[in-house]
Amino acid sequence: MKKIPNFPEPFINLLSGIADSVNEIIYHYTSAEGLRGIIENSEIWLTNIAFLNDVNECKALQKEKKLFKDIDFNNFFIKESWEGFIRNPKNDYNTYMASFSRGEKESLEQWRAYGNFRIGFKANKLINSSSNFFQCVYSENAIKKWILGKTKLAGWNDKNITDSLKRIIAGHLISSAAKKYKNNYFKNEKEVRLIAHSNHTWEPSPNSPTLFKNQPPIHYRDHSVYKIPVPYIKFIIGDSKKARVKDNETEMRMKKRKLDEETSMTRRLLPIEEVLIGPMLHQKEAEIACNILLKNKGYTKKDILNVSDIPYRGF
């Protein structure tokens, strides 16, 4: 859980109790173009959730109106937040996501769906100041159990956390649950998602632009099928020179400043533990190319490159 300034420690501790902890190697299946971009530029693209394959991405929980009965809740703040969430569903156009899978065993299903290369990342080193991990669950019972389990955190009884702060935490809990819950048809993917936010307007706090100062700038790429510009943000590990911010900084100046800071950032290598070449034609040539790419960019870990032995032609 990243550090949150200007809040009391008991609040931060309770908020941290909601966060998912991911410490193992997680895997991202991608194309040759995706592999090259990740390694060559030391960046991962997080796509706006409105443009992902699952049309109900982060919306599935809103449909579970009968998930809870009143007697299920022993926490007023979470009950209040859940009822508001169900009563007033909202479209979220400020959330961005990159998907990974848990478990070392490779998936032929994902080779077919996402590309010929699988990159393994050390999750606990794949962090920056604006993103969090969420582990997906795929059943009503699992998400219900997760939400109710969080009502038992000791921090809810801490008198040093005001009711207004508890409401913030309860809202964050339900929002996190929405990001974790996914349709059962996708359960074989064992998804872990890296999520960040970037507001393209001042909403929801038009008078508080500083709330958005740590959010990354938005970029656009062409969708290969829809032929429309798709918003995405870049996940980067590195250091940038922070420009001096004027008190009267406008929205557009803030966006330009953040883009300049990102462009000038000194990037560190991503925590890549393995690259696996999937079942495909010209596997040997792919191995040679990947070896050159990895070594040329500074990835010198022994046995970082491997080749799948699944007997599938892959055309």
pLDDT tens across 142-176, in order?
A: 999 999 999 999 899 998 999 999 999 999 999 99
pLDDT tens across 297-309, in order?
A: 999 999 999 999 9
What average pLDDT is seen over the chain? 90
Q: How confident is the model at residue 230 (pLDDT cuts 50, 70, 90)?
A: very high
At residue 121, the pLDDT reads 97
Residue 57 sits at φ, ψ, to 5 deg, of -55, 120
Share of the chain above pLDDT 70, in %: 93
Please give the angle made by the CA atoms of 162, 165 and 166, to the nearest 5 degrees.
85
Left (φ > 0), alpha (ψ -120 to 50) or beta: where does 58 sit?
A: left
User: How many CB atoms within 10 Å of residue 107?
Assistant: 19
Structure tokens at 91: 């479209």
Q: What is the torsion angle, in degrees rounded to the nearest 10, for the CA atoms of residue 282, residue 285, residue 286 and residue 287?
A: 120
3-state secondary structure at position 224: coil
pLDDT tens across 239-275, in order?
A: 877 767 767 778 888 888 889 999 999 999 999 999 9
Residue with tokens 């998907």: 99
Q: How far apart are CA 143 and CA 312, in angstroms?
A: 36
At residue 19, the pLDDT reads 87
Q: How far apart are CA 4 and CA 186, in angstroms?
A: 33
pLDDT tens across 117-133, in order?
A: 999 999 999 987 788 99
Among residues 172, 141, 128, the alpha carbon closest in space to that of 64 is found at: 141
